[in-house]
Structure 1
Amino acid sequence: MDTSTLNPRNSQHVRSKSEPSNPHPIISQVDEQLRRLRDSEATSSSLCHRLGALQDLYDCVDKLLGLPNSQQALAQGTDKEVLDDLLEGSLMLLDLCDTAKNGLLQTRECTHELESILRRKRGEICTSSSLQKSRKMIKKTIHKALKGMEGEHFRKVYGSLTIVNLIKEVEATTYDSMASLLSFIAGPKLPSKWSCWSSVSNFVQPRRVACISEETDVSVVERLDLALRSATNHQTNKEFHTQDEDMQNLLRECGACIKEVEEELEGLYRFIIKTRVSLLNIFNN
């Protein structure tokens, strides 16, 4: 069966004259999920929402790969080079997920440890300094991963191989979201003027962290870095503890929000593995 029996996703893909005028309903569902994700990138969409939307997208892809027509189109119309490209793409995405999961875990541990320092109310400056070093290592690892990311791998278009082009766009959308997540975990470089607690507290008291979102004025991760810098720079922790209740509340909410993102990311990780397994099964049968 020719791969043109499945309709192309949009005008960016090369259309075959033999293709039917109406796309398969599942392809329409994938198109709709991709549209929603593109819209979310242009609005103040939270990372949790985006990761959840990606899971919905992969659920549609899984249904598409389960169709006999899709399996036949991939098995008969795809050569080894294209297969290797799809499998390599899924592996790259899994590696990015692993980097993000490790970064989130270590960041959440930093919030718990700093919360513990505040709760004990002792001058554990060495501990807070160690936590700041840990955050620096997280940032370094993520920046290295971001620098090594090859986005062009996910931008390829394979002529009229409709289902392959669709999977490539799903990969590209996932890649963009993972890049946003990694950048969020790393956080921006903090201005030196924000090294004092009086500056930090201005961003702690009035705000409640409802969900992690890189579009907020001062993000959850950025506030954590501000708190770590403030704790480390003080010769004593007297000033740091003057508003420790506000900071403890923030840290608890930070930890809960980061854990929520971890759970959504784990769900996406499982979906990517499932898609990879489906592709391997199709090509090995």
Structure 2
Amino acid sequence: MAGSSALPENRSCVRSVSLPTRSHPLAVKIEGYLSKSKTWEGSSTSKNNTSSAETIQVGLVGLAELYKCVDDFIHLPLIQQVLVNHQHEKSVEEALDESVNILDVCSTARDTFLTMKEGVKDLQSALRRKRGGLSSMRNQTSAYIRLRKKMKKDVSKCLAVLKKLNEKNDSLILNENHHLAVVVRVLREVSSITISIFRCLLSFLSVTEPKRKLVGWSLVSKAMKSKSIMSEKEQEHSNEVERVDVAVHALCDHNLSTSAEAERVKIAHRALKALEVTIDGLENGLDCMYRRIIQTRVSILNALNH
């Protein structure tokens, strides 16, 4: 990549940015992370389904590392000077405004995970409770279903914000001096990757609610008993959130024998435990990302006010 090469506008191409010096270690690192992100995006959007928790966690880890590199990049003397000289440029202000919107989405996602974790724990406690068990279980299953409905509304709003940001990002054209264009392109590419990963994360939380007919019950039952007996198609279209949704709706069926209800409670326990572990992993990745985004924003503001 030549020092004066421009960023390809076609997003099907591997991302490439023109950094101050091709041989600079940060140039190599950032290029590497941007290239890896393209591979991640390709694998996460290759099928018409939500990405797996593992795929999203990998994306969050890689994104946090990329933000660390970008933060170091911003502290380079040349970049500091570029930001000081062009602090009032529209593109710089837009990059800062976009970081605020992304932080808001990240904050909402963190709150959503926290609320979901509390709902999972409350439901687990209700399923374990012996005294007043049936009444408590039904109250908590209803509460969890209400929680999920509210969560989906919040997630939909965040996805709408991310969609607008992405459309705006794609439509912007840079007509600036070379060095400022380099800085803005780096920030824009990182923003684009962040939007993509957050969209996958939020979509993971907003899987379609199962019908009261419990059509998907057999899928969940199989999933909890043994993953090995699930077909490829079933595994492809199911995640931990969806399995709990189906299991919780299954508990709403009041016309069950004692043994059938006990079996569904057992399966719900397993689904909830798996979801709890998944939430912990994604929550940790999201917390790290929140801190990285704030740090990068602070670094840019410090450079502008230098």
TM-score grouping bracket, smaller chain normalisation: 0.7 to 0.9
Counterpart of 2:174 (choices 158, 163, 166) is: 158
For the pair 1:76 / 2:85, whether they are aligned, the reply is yes
Conservation of the 8 A alpha-carbon contact between 2:247 and 2:271: no
User: 1:262-277 residue pairs with structure 2 within 5 A?
Assistant: 262-277=283-298
Q: Report the CA distance between 1:254 and its aligned residue.
A: 1.3
Equivalent residue for 1:110?
Answer: 119
Corresponding residue SS for 1:204: helix
Q: Report the CA distance between 1:119 and its aligned residue.
A: 1.5
The aligned amino acid for 2:138 is I
Q: Report the CA distance between 1:139 and its aligned residue.
A: 0.7
Equivalent residue for 2:157?
Answer: 144
Q: Report the CA distance between 1:216 and its aligned residue.
A: 4.1
Q: TM-score, normalised by structure 2?
A: 0.79
Conservation of the 8 A alpha-carbon contact between 1:9 and 1:166: no
Cα deviation code 1:29-80 (max 9, x no counterpart)? 1121011112112226611111011000001101101100111122214534
Quickly say closer, same or farther: Cα 1:24–1:12, change in 2 above 3 A.
farther
Conservation of the 8 A alpha-carbon contact between 2:21 and 2:27: no
Quickly say closer, same or farther: Cα 1:196–1:189, change in 2 above 3 A.
closer
Conservation of the 8 A alpha-carbon contact between 2:41 and 2:196: no
Corresponding residue SS for 2:196: helix
Q: Report the CA distance between 1:252 and its aligned residue.
A: 1.4
Quickly say closer, same or farther: Cα 1:109–1:236, change in 2 above 3 A.
farther
For the pair 1:194 / 2:192, whether they are aligned, the reply is no
Distance 1:157 1:279 in 2: 21
Distance 1:180 1:131 in 2: 23
Conservation of the 8 A alpha-carbon contact between 1:115 and 1:248: yes
Q: TM-score, normalised by structure 1?
A: 0.84
Instruction: Could you tell me which runs of 5 or more consecutive residues in structure 2 were left unpaired when the two chains were aligned.
Output: 11-18, 45-53, 229-234
Distance 2:146 2:122 in 1: 13
Distance 1:173 1:54 in 2: 8
Corresponding residue SS for 1:22: coil
Larger deviation, residues 215-224 vs 55-64: 215-224
The aligned amino acid for 1:284 is N
Quickly say closer, same or farther: Cα 1:187–1:166, change in 2 above 3 A.
same
Identity of aligned residues (%): 28
Equivalent residue for 1:126?
Answer: 139
How many residues align? The count is 270
RMSD (Å) for aligned C-alpha atoms? 2.7
Equivalent residue for 1:170?
Answer: 190
Conservation of the 8 A alpha-carbon contact between 1:194 and 1:200: no
Corresponding residue SS for 1:158: coil
Cα deviation code 1:127-183 (max 9, x no counterpart)? 211211111110111112222431223333423411111111101110111111111
User: 1:186-225 residue pairs with structure 2 within 5 A?
Assistant: 186-194=206-214, 197-198=217-218, 200-207=220-227, 216-225=236-245
Quickly say closer, same or farther: Cα 1:261–1:7, change in 2 above 3 A.
farther
* Structure 1 stretches of at least 4 aligned residues deviating more than 4 Å after TM superposition: 5-9, 195-199
Conservation of the 8 A alpha-carbon contact between 1:9 and 1:27: no
Counterpart of 1:56 (choices 59, 65, 89) is: 65
Equivalent residue for 1:211?
Answer: none
Equivalent residue for 2:100?
Answer: 91
Equivalent residue for 2:232?
Answer: none
Equivalent residue for 2:36?
Answer: 36
Quickly say closer, same or farther: Cα 1:164–1:40, change in 2 above 3 A.
same
Equivalent residue for 2:109?
Answer: 100
Distance 1:120 1:273 in 2: 42
The aligned amino acid for 1:139 is K
Quickly say closer, same or farther: Cα 1:189–1:245, change in 2 above 3 A.
closer
Corresponding residue SS for 1:79: coil
Quickly say closer, same or farther: Cα 1:79–1:252, change in 2 above 3 A.
same
Instruction: Could you tell me which runs of 5 or more consecutive residues in structure 1 were left unpaired when the two chains were aligned.
Output: 14-18, 209-214
Distance 2:77 2:66 in 1: 20
Corresponding residue SS for 2:261: coil
Conservation of the 8 A alpha-carbon contact between 1:58 and 1:271: yes
Conservation of the 8 A alpha-carbon contact between 1:195 and 1:233: no
Conservation of the 8 A alpha-carbon contact between 2:217 and 2:250: yes
